[in-house]
Structure formats: structure tokens, C-alpha cells
Amino acid sequence: MSETTGNGSSGIRSLLVQHPLPDVTGLAPLSILDGDAPTVIEVADALNSPPADLFDVVDQRGALVVRSGDGGFARDALRSVLGVGGELIQSAAELGKAGQSDFYQVVDRGMDINDPNVLFSATTLPIGFHSDGNEPDWVPGYFALYCQQTASQGGESRLVDAAEAYARLLKVGEFNDLLSRDFFRDEILFGNSEHAAAMAVRSRHWPIFSEDLWGVGFTFRYTRRRLETGHERAGAPLTAKESAFLDVMDAQFATAGATFALRQGDLLIVDNRRVAHDRLPYQDGQEKRSLLRAWIRRTPLQDANA
């Protein structure tokens, strides 16, 4: 059980050789697919623009970096760039449901990844391409990461267009039955018995790719580990074909997209429903790498079916 694509890589390679990735003409390609870093704008310009305009750029390009340089944002400036308190940020109730309040700190918490309740993002290990959120009825439309402190080594961000990956996988044809089918999704259940977790996961299943989720458009929902442990807990471990499908998908993510280093004072904003993201492993120096994360919605209907 690994979040990376190390296992069975010769099988993946032969599948990719058998099925070289075709050009996709139906979708406007996002710039982040060209291997570019996201568009960067200066914080002064961001603060002079309505947040809605910034999110228009994110919609068009998949991601955006607001750069403040050495000065950094005050927390208030961060809130106003993101539109917190206005239309854009999720309600307090939604934050509570997602287990977050205000901004969540992404930092190495020195925990043992062998514990299934520990998230890769709370360690220095590679996370693997994923989307944020793990709820049946709510998806963060966007996430933002504000870089308070870079790592001494590594920790680069990676982004790839999941809609384009989906279109390519459809053309491969081999996995069409799996692309939109439900998979079980584990949830972190501190202090709950294995039995309770197994019962809970039975009602937690949804597809990786939805062409039009809740009438608001294409949505990608995937964290490999939650899906693998979800299937184990549901008593339906992933089959060889299902694992091969995830390997091929992860391999596609890993070969495409942008890899770039956030600088201290950068605010990265990403379309979480369209773009898959990853973070490379890192080492901390004297100061620990630290990012503040916010989950954001743009309109009430965008991220929930309520």
C-alpha cells in the first residue's frame, strides 16, 4: 500500500507504451499543463482587485500565485485577498464540518505515517497527487496555501489538469468502467473502533471523476490512501485491475503538469475541482516549513448539493 506509483511500474510503463497519451482537442488546455508555473501577480495588484477577479483568473488558468515578497501578508490582507468574510470563503459551519477553523497550518507534525489516521500532508513525505476534501456532500471549490516558511530542501508544489487526465484516460478506453464508478473513502476516525470505521465507510463512496457534479461541472475527488484503506475497511480490497487503474492515473499525473517552488510570502490559489495537486518530500531547516491553508467556495451552489 503506497501512495506513490512504485509498485508494478513495469506494468504501468507497458500500458503507457501501448496507449501513448493522445492529444485532447475537446478541452481548452490549462497553462499549467505546459510545465509552466502558475501565473504570478503582485500582492498590491491583488489587493486592488476584487477577489472575484482573481478567482476568474484561477478559473481560466487552474491556479494563481499572489506574491508578496519579503514583507509577507498580514493575516487581514490574506483574508481580504481571499474574500474571507465575503462571498468567497466557506461558512463557519462548513469550516467546522471540514474540521478546520480559520486557516489550517500545514506543517510536519512528526507523526508515524504507518498509522492510517495520519495524513501524508502532516509529514515531510511526498503526498501524491490528490484533491482536498473528503466529504460525500461537500467539496472545497478552491484551496489556498500561503507560504509562511519554505523548507530547507524540497517541498515543491505540483499541479496537473485532472480534467485533461480524465479525457486521456477515456481515450485509453481500458478503464472506462472505473473512471466514474464509486470507490469507498475512508475517513479519519480518532478513537473509533475498527468496527465503527468499517460501518461508517459503507455509506462513504463516490467517483474519482464526475463530469457534472451537482450541476456545477467537472469535479475530481481523489486521495489514494483514503480510497485504499476505505476499500479494505469496507471488506472490498481493491482488485488488481482497480489498482492498475490508479497506478496508470497516478503515473499520468506524475508525468504532466507544473512543478514549482513557492517562495516565502507566496499565496497559491488552486481550482480544487479541476486540478490535481501534490507536494514533493522535503527537509526542514532550523525553521519548520509552514503553510497556511484555506478552503474556499465561490458561490453557495458551487461546492455542495444543498
Residue ranges binding ligand AKG (CB under 6 A): 106, 121, 127, 132, 145, 157, 277, 279, 291, 293
C-beta contacts of 119-123 below 8 A and 24+ residues apart: 119/188, 120/3, 120/225, 121/279
Nearer Cβ to Fe ion (132/164): 132
The minimum distance between CB 45 and ligand AKG, in angstroms, equals: 24
In whole angstroms, give the CA distance from residue 118 to residue 123: 8
User: Of 288, 291, 298, which is closest to residue 277 (Cα–Cα)?
Assistant: 291
The minimum distance between CB 282 and ligand AKG, in angstroms, equals: 8
Inter-residue contact 134 to 255 (CB < 8 Å): no
Query: How many Cβ atoms sit within 10 Å of the Cβ of residue 296?
Result: 24
132, 161, 278, 303: residue in contact with Fe ion (rule CB under 5 A)? 132
Which of the ranges 44-52, 65-73, 82-90, 129-137 carries the binding residues for Fe ion, by CB under 5 A? 129-137
Q: Which residue is nearest to Fe ion (CB)?
A: 132
Q: DSSP assignment of 116-129, as one string?
A: TTS-GGGSSS---S
Which of the ranges 128-136, 146-154, 234-242, 256-264 carries the binding residues for Fe ion, by CB under 5 A? 128-136
Query: How many Cβ atoms sit within 10 Å of the Cβ of residue 131?
Result: 22
Nearer Cβ to ligand AKG (19/288): 288
Which of the ranges 100-108, 131-139, 156-164, 199-207 carries the binding residues for Fe ion, by CB under 5 A? 131-139
The minimum distance between CB 16 and Fe ion, in angstroms, equals: 25
User: Of 298, 256, 304, which is closest to residue 86 (Cα–Cα)?
Assistant: 298
Binding site for Fe ion (CB under 5 A): 132
